[in-house]
């Protein structure tokens, strides 16, 4: 069996343009109809998911800070009044706190599933905390520090520290259980393959204790006897072509293929349709006779899977990027406030109408978002959906509008989206208008895989823009290149990459190419 070359398949999909209307190829409806079973799922209220990786990381930080605060607090309260400040105590406190976190990690109590329990995590924590103190006492003995460390302080640190940890875990347990009831910790999963393999996979997932997998249903293209209408108690929600629309109407975290790896051609055809989604996609390997090295697998409990696509910018990367956007965006907003005020004044003096206007654009996962811009067209000729492309010499553009469009100053109000709304990033694929067109074709009709650029939040500037692919889109190459550069950014994101793009953006704006 030939290996599944997913990267090649992605590149081929992004590079190929679809047939235009002039070729006579019929277009599918843009808003697909879903089955009643699928609509019942999408109509359910779904809470935003919380990353278990981030939760575990935050608990580690809280444990370290909590123990450090207890140790230093007892030191300042009991030891400090009768003696001068000693760095030995501070070093001991931070050392004990750090060793405690490491010991808790070794005891496997930084797992969200463990947080839900009570007795198991409390006993593990108490024994780990006691071990840390025994090691500290032993190290103090061999270092001959026994006379310099207060025994009362040490005993109080042990008792009060353990009590603080217990109280912290009781609060954490209540929070985790509430989040679990709200579905914030579940991985909302759909199964591809409504047959015997699908039934075996669903039963294997449901048989696991403390599983965070919530199966919503199954999808299958087949209409013959091999495709079951109900698969191990889960309803068939539709066909493969319905998954993209389904995932845009409700939160999906994981797409899991129950098909055997030997069905390579069929799997590839499905992946060409699904890789545009911002979700994890895996192949189940629990029934496959072909076995790879253990490190090749990732596991859902005890069920082995093979990773195909991973959701980009998740967990701590998402936290880091969000913090970067809010902090750096706020700084830029303050620095550019005088410029924005001057632009607003110029617009007001130049033509009648509001200074700002809202335009509908595509956001994360193809959601429609309202984006702020400085008004550059005459108010009575405004085009919120951008159904008509602004071209060179366009009479709808005001005198001030021509300048701010050329210099991209009209984009500055999008800092409000970044800092206050959070639906834009400083750096990312540019959010195109919902009616953005290449001649008579919408952008997603002109380029296969266009919506893959929406797997992350869009940005005010991006990798494509600093490489010259900005402004008017009037050829297939321009939109294809934008998509290619956007996908490169998504696959290679880092904070340093964002900083580099921000640094290069002013130089790209000076050129003013293709902006009218």
Output the pTM of the full model. Answer: 0.82
The rounded distance, in Å, linking the Cα atoms of 369 and 424 is 9
Asked if 357 contacts 382 with a C-beta cutoff of 8 angstroms, the reply is yes
DSSP label of 377: B
Asked if 206 contacts 169 with a C-beta cutoff of 8 angstroms, the reply is no
What is the domain partition of the chain in residue ranges? 6-14+185-311, 52-182, 316-511
DSSP string, 369-417: EEEEEE--B-GGG--TT--S---TT-TTB-HHHHHHHHTTGGGTTHHHI
The rounded distance, in Å, linking the Cα atoms of 235 and 40 is 11
Supply the pLDDT for residue 448: 76
List the structure tokens of 16.
Answer: 């190929």
Asked if 252 contacts 246 with a C-beta cutoff of 8 angstroms, the reply is yes
DSSP label of 210: T
- 402-454 pLDDT, tens per residue? 888 888 888 999 999 999 999 999 999 998 877 766 666 777 777 777 888 88
The rounded distance, in Å, linking the Cα atoms of 481 and 489 is 12
The rounded distance, in Å, linking the Cα atoms of 145 and 93 is 14
Supply the pLDDT for residue 62: 96
Cβ neighbour number for residue 258 with a 10 Å cutoff: 23
Supply the pLDDT for residue 224: 60
Supply the pLDDT for residue 131: 94
Below-50 pLDDT ranges, the chain = 1-29, 516
The rounded distance, in Å, linking the Cα atoms of 370 and 362 is 9
Supply the pLDDT for residue 514: 58
Supply the pLDDT for residue 17: 35
Asked if 462 contacts 469 with a C-beta cutoff of 8 angstroms, the reply is no
The rounded distance, in Å, linking the Cα atoms of 414 and 421 is 10
List the structure tokens of 358.
Answer: 């809202």
Fold of the 6-14+185-311 domain: Rossmann fold (3.40.50)
Asked if 10 contacts 275 with a C-beta cutoff of 8 angstroms, the reply is yes
């Amino acid at each position: 069996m030939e290996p599944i070359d997913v990267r090649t398949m992605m590149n081929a999909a992004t590079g190929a343009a679809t047939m235009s209307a002039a070729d006579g190829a019929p277009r599918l409806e843009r808003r697909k109809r879903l089955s009643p079973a699928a609509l019942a799922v999408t109509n359910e209220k779904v809470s935003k998911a919380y990353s278990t990786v981030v939760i575990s990381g935050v608990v580690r930080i809280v444990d370290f800070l909590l123990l450090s605060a207890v140790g230093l607090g007892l030191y300042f309260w009991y030891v400090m009044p009768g003696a001068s400040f000693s760095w030995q105590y501070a070093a001991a406190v931070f050392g004990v706190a750090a060793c405690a976190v490491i010991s808790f990690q070794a005891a496997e109590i930084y797992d969200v599933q463990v947080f839900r329990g009570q007795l198991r995590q409390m006993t593990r924590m108490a024994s780990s905390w006691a071990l840390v103190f025994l090691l500290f006492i032993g190290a103090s003995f061999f270092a001959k520090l026994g006379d310099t460390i207060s025994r009362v302080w040490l005993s109080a640190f042990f008792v009060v520290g353990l009590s603080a940890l217990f109280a912290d875990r009781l609060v954490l347990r209540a929070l985790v259980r509430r989040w679990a009831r709200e579905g914030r910790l579940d991985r909302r999963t759909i199964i591809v393959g409504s047959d015997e393999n699908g039934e075996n996979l669903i039963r294997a997932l449901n048989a696991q204790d403390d599983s965070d997998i919530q199966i919503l249903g199954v999808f299958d293209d087949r209409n013959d006897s091999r495709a079951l209408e109900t698969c191990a108690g889960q309803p068939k929600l539709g066909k493969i072509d319905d998954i993209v629309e389904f995932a845009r109407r409700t939160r999906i975290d994981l797409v899991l293929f129950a098909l055997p790896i030997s069905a390579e051609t069929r799997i590839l055809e499905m992946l060409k349709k699904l890789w545009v989604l911002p979700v994890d996609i895996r192949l189940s390997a629990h029934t496959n006779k072909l076995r790879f090295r253990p490190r090749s697998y990732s596991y859902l409990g005890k069920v082995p899977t093979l990773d195909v696509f991973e959701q980009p910018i998740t967990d701590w990367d998402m936290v880091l990027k969000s913090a970067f956007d809010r902090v750096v965006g706020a700084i830029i907003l303050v620095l550019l406030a005088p410029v924005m005020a001057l632009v607003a004044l110029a617009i007001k003096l130049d033509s009648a109408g509001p200074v700002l206007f809202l335009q509908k654009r595509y956001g994360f996962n193809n959601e429609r978002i309202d984006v702020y811009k400085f008004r550059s067209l005459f108010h009575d000729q405004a085009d919120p959906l951008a159904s008509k492309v602004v071209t060179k010499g366009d009479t709808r553009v005001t005198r001030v509008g021509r300048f701010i469009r050329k210099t991209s100053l009209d984009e500055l109000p999008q800092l409000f989206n970044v800092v206050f709304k959070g639906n834009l990033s400083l750096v990312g694929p540019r959010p195109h208008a919902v009616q953005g067109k290449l001649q008579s074709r919408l952008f997603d009709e002109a380029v296969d895989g266009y919506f893959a650029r929406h797997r992350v939040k869009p940005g005010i500037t991006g990798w494509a823009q600093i490489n010259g692919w900005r402004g008017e889109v009037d050829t297939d190459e321009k939109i294809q290149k934008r998509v290619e550069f956007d996908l490169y950014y998504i696959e290679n994101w880092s904070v340093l990459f964002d900083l580099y793009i921000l640094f290069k953006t002013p130089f790209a704006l000076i050129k003013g190419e293709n902006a009218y």
